[in-house]
Structure 1
Amino acid sequence: MTSKQRVVVIGGGLAGLRLAARLAGGAAVTVLGEEQHVPYNRVLLAEVLAGRYAPEVAALPAAGPELRRGVRAVRVDRADRKVHCDDGAALAYDTLVLATGSNPVLPPLRGLFEPEGRELPDGVHAFRTMDDCLALSEAVRPGVRAVVIGGGLLGVSAARALAARGAQVVLAQQAARLMERQLDAGASALLHAHLTALGVEIHTECRVRGLTTAPTAAARDARGHRRVTGAELADGYRLDADLVVLACGVRPRTGLAQAAGLEVRKGIVVDDRLRTSDPRIHAIGDCAEHAGQVYGLAGPALEQADVLAGVLTGADAAYAGTRALTRLTLTTAGGSGPFDLACFGETTPRPGDDVVRFADATRRTYRTVVLRDDRLVGGVLLGELSTVGAVARTWEGDEAPLDLFHLLTDDGGH
């Protein structure tokens, strides 16, 4: 890459800004960020909602003059190599990077939208952006009735945060247990007990089929402006609600890439050099699909940004996938210390796998790992996590653990 090659990055999140920082000084970089907010770390949004952090604590390091906030890319002209923006600008590029992230999944609930409409009822919120977080923060107060739909990582984080603010929280999870994609049954049960102790009412194997609404006092037209009043379950039971949080997962943002004629499957398809089907266009982060995998996590996004920086600066760099570890910290009731959880790899064993489990009720720790051919392939660590670094290194290095007991006890992390 020549020193002043023009690089346009669409997306001002973690991945896009990491790439811009790595390329600083070696290229003419422009980052387009849709949101007006100072760029922030989405991982910390639950802490902002819980009132533990002010919004500015979640801010990412200053992006510098290359970031254009509040500007949305509307079209990519591959023939002329230009990005057209909603403010009328047309930015020429030598290399284009799509770091467009993902959108929240809005489930097909009856009453969510009016016919021909796309406006959510008052009191219904996704939980993906700083605007979502601030709107929820403004709406929540002690005693408010909140229904969280979705028991994955996002739903658990939202439920805990709302409970910390004094809301009466009901969490509805369609699967048989919380965080079923990451946790085994034992760890999920402990998480269930922890949230219950915080006052969260949990319904598993429970599908929400619709929302009930009522016109607001500020109705502006004949149809009225609606406010949510409840959530209807598939069995006919109705949960009263002042707030409903949609935490049903995310979907890669691929519309810009599709309109430009790039190959899209689950995400924007990229090769080991993070190139799309157009070699002048790359994709990283939540929107990218590599080897059939869309990660949707901060760790892989940062790793992809670092690899792409190497590719664009002429290094012999290639992306081979990320072995991602998910970590969650929940503050316990009464200030008795954090409830730490980490999970990685395959937590559900296959036939023939070995499972090793340690549980200590007194210390509130739970550790289980799955071994295949004497190699760690996945596991869950819950409670005191001094060992997580050593376990992760053994897993990432595809090594046979020399002393598994030592590795999984507290001393193993030192």
Structure 2
Amino acid sequence: MRVLVVGNGMAGSRLAADLQARGGDRKVTTLGAEPHRAYNRIMLSTLLAGKIEEPDLELTDPAGPGVEVRTGVTVTGIDRAARQVHTDQGERYDYDHLVLATGARAVVPPLPGLDPVPDRVVPFRTLADCRRILAAAEGAGEALVLGGGLLGLEAARGLAARGLRVTVVHPRPHLMERQLDPTAGAVLAGTLDRLGVRTLLGVPAAGVAAEGDRVHLDLADGRRLTADLLVLSCGVRPDTAVAAAAGLTVRRGVVVDDRLRTSDPAISAVGDCAEHRDTLTGLVAPAWAQARVVADLLTGTDPAARYRPRPGVTRLKAAGVDLAAMGDTTGSTQTPGVEELTFTDPTRGTYARLRIDRDRLTGAILVGENPSVGTVVQLFDRGTPVPADRRSLLLGRAFGTAPVSTAGSPALMPDATTICQCNDVTKGALVACWRAGARTPAELSAATRAATGCGTCREALTGIATWLATTDPPPTP
């Protein structure tokens, strides 16, 4: 069987690795448009902040007989009748099953001055973009970021960590309006201001002008901002051009069913380019879950495999900023049986909001340090009942009872506790790998893939390894 994967990003590379790991007699070929090996895209902001180097981003390429990865190859067309893919290099690749993992592209807003995009204006999406931003930031004093969503704020904090004066311009009244309510947005803005990131809210951009080594951003209210660098973080759009040209059903993304099949049963789609039940993913955990389902189906490992999306948790990865948002926090507070709990301390940069329906957590926002964040994520992810004392979740400690958060003591964690949300790795899986011979955080990560996604579980992984080294030391040779 010839499986052809178009796209060597986080979804495409994971699918190729999953196919290779399942063994069998098949040829897997991956075509990636970017000229380098697969990398962890969601850690680009950490690279921007100078916390890691480029080699730390690299993902392990699948290797072995029947596996081929081609980089710097752009697919230009799909011949569904002949089951062939055409490339910009004039090559043709035959397939028995084709998987589209073409990802998404950064949106460049239709502003005067952005066609073409000037040199000192950079969209933030790829490793090449990150390299351009770092080159422009060298010796720069000021930077502007257009867009106050998740990625824009991570880019802003990364540049501020390099000593630049950063201003975020956002057209909405508060930051991260898709995940946060106005109060949480205000607390987050205050925290960012203390970290050297200024925010201008509720004012759209009107145009861009480049002048030598400086770039001007004109605002709708008549103001003009000037800096050495302008980073565009105005959202992403699924890359569906090849799929649409081939006649596949495309709405916002390439439409797929529960088996991740497109309107052509010989073609699947996974990751940011796929639209499942009117929903786009945009996060690494569902993309990797989709890759697992396709690998199970194509190899016959699990013919009954189906993609069932799980509730997503948004985490902001920026030094000095702790933020987690999940589920629905926008519904009416007057709904019968629904509880709304909030706590705000703007001086300390802390805000917590919980939405509880019939003793189940259906939504939460946590800004600032909160020791119960791990417990909140677990309650939300598994749909288990919340404790009777709700204050323990808002404030991170129980009143008159034992602490709710078990983050400080792995011994108290049930084996079913999810440690790595991106890869769905439980404490029990880590313990099993430890007892099978994995003795360091790096070895546990290699065996389970924990901490290879967004990286927010790395500290928990290290804590469990330390605990195991004390409570379950390896036998003396």
Seen in structure 2, the aligned counterparts of structure 1 residues 229 and 6 have a Cα distance that, compared at 3 Å, is same
Seen in structure 2, the aligned counterparts of structure 1 residues 229 and 363 have a Cα distance that, compared at 3 Å, is closer
Give per-residue Cα distances to partners, 1:27-84, cap 9 Å, x unaligned: 3111111111221111110111111111111111233352111111111110000111
Contact 1:145 1:168 in 2 (8 A): yes
Within 5 Å, give how 1:354-373 maps onto structure 2.
354-359=339-344, 365-373=350-358
1:364 Cα deviation (Å)? 5.2
Contact 1:104 1:251 in 2 (8 A): yes
1:94 aligned partner, one-letter code: D
Are 2:234 and 1:248 aligned?
Answer: yes
Q: For 1:362 and 1:231, locate their aligned partners in 2 and report how far apart those are by CA, in whole Å.
A: 31
Give per-residue Cα distances to partners, 1:367-409, cap 9 Å, x unaligned: 2111234322111122335433332232223333243344452
Q: For 1:234 and 1:300, locate their aligned partners in 2 and report how far apart those are by CA, in whole Å.
A: 38
Seen in structure 2, the aligned counterparts of structure 1 residues 82 and 228 have a Cα distance that, compared at 3 Å, is farther
Within 5 Å, give how 1:77-88 maps onto structure 2.
77-88=79-90
Q: For 1:78 and 1:405, locate their aligned partners in 2 and report how far apart those are by CA, in whole Å.
A: 58
Contact 1:141 1:166 in 2 (8 A): no
1:206 Cα deviation (Å)? 1.0
Are 2:283 and 1:286 aligned?
Answer: no
2:188 aligned partner, one-letter code: L
1:322 aligned partner, one-letter code: R
1:252 aligned partner, one-letter code: P
1:142 Cα deviation (Å)? 5.1
Question: Which residue of structure 2 lines up, in the alignment, with residue 412 of structure 1?
Answer: 404
Partner of 2:280: helix, strand, or coil?
Answer: coil
Give per-residue Cα distances to partners, 1:92-123, cap 9 Å, x unaligned: 1111100000000110111111xxxxx31110
The structure 2 residue matched to 1:329, chosen from 298, 317, 334, is 317
Contact 1:284 1:301 in 2 (8 A): yes
Within 5 Å, give how 1:22-101 maps onto structure 2.
22-24=18-20, 25-26=23-24, 27-64=26-63, 65-101=67-103
- TM-score, scaled relative to structure 2: 0.78
Q: For 1:247 and 1:61, locate their aligned partners in 2 and report how far apart those are by CA, in whole Å.
A: 28
Question: Quick check: 272-281 or 238-247, which moved more?
Answer: 238-247
Contact 1:47 1:53 in 2 (8 A): yes
Within 5 Å, give how 1:96-175 maps onto structure 2.
96-113=98-115, 119-141=116-138, 143-175=140-172
Report the RMSD for the aligned CA atoms in angstroms: 1.8
Runs of 5+ in structure 1 lacking a partner?
A: 114-118, 217-226, 333-338
Contact 2:46 2:318 in 1 (8 A): no
Contact 1:153 1:179 in 2 (8 A): yes
Are 2:276 and 1:274 aligned?
Answer: no
1:228 Cα deviation (Å)? 5.4
The structure 2 residue matched to 1:14, chosen from 10, 17, 24, is 10
1:174 Cα deviation (Å)? 0.4
Question: Quick check: 386-395 or 16-25, which moved more?
Answer: 386-395
Partner of 1:175: helix, strand, or coil?
Answer: coil
2:73 aligned partner, one-letter code: V
Contact 1:143 1:167 in 2 (8 A): yes
Question: Which residue of structure 2 lines up, in the alignment, with residue 393 of structure 1?
Answer: 378
Question: Which residue of structure 1 lines up, in the alignment, with residue 400 of structure 2?
Answer: none
1:59 aligned partner, one-letter code: E
1:242 Cα deviation (Å)? 1.9
- TM-score, scaled relative to structure 1: 0.89
Partner of 1:412: helix, strand, or coil?
Answer: coil
2:258 aligned partner, one-letter code: D
Seen in structure 2, the aligned counterparts of structure 1 residues 362 and 233 have a Cα distance that, compared at 3 Å, is closer
Q: For 2:50 and 2:209, locate their aligned partners in 1 and report how far apart those are by CA, in whole Å.
A: 29
Question: Which residue of structure 2 lines up, in the alignment, with residue 346 of structure 1?
Answer: 328
Q: For 2:147 and 2:53, locate their aligned partners in 1 and report how far apart those are by CA, in whole Å.
A: 26
| Richer in helix (by share) | 2
Give per-residue Cα distances to partners, 1:228-278, cap 9 Å, x unaligned: 530100011111122111100000000010000000011000000000000
Percent identity over the alignment is 46
Contact 2:31 2:70 in 1 (8 A): yes
Within 5 Å, give how 1:229-240 maps onto structure 2.
229-240=215-226
Contact 1:211 1:228 in 2 (8 A): no
The structure 2 residue matched to 1:190, chosen from 177, 184, 187, is 187
Seen in structure 2, the aligned counterparts of structure 1 residues 357 and 271 have a Cα distance that, compared at 3 Å, is same
Q: For 2:387 and 2:160, locate their aligned partners in 1 and report how far apart those are by CA, in whole Å.
A: 43
Q: For 1:84 and 1:73, locate their aligned partners in 2 and report how far apart those are by CA, in whole Å.
A: 6
Q: For 2:289 and 2:366, locate their aligned partners in 1 and report how far apart those are by CA, in whole Å.
A: 23
Count of matched residue pairs: 388
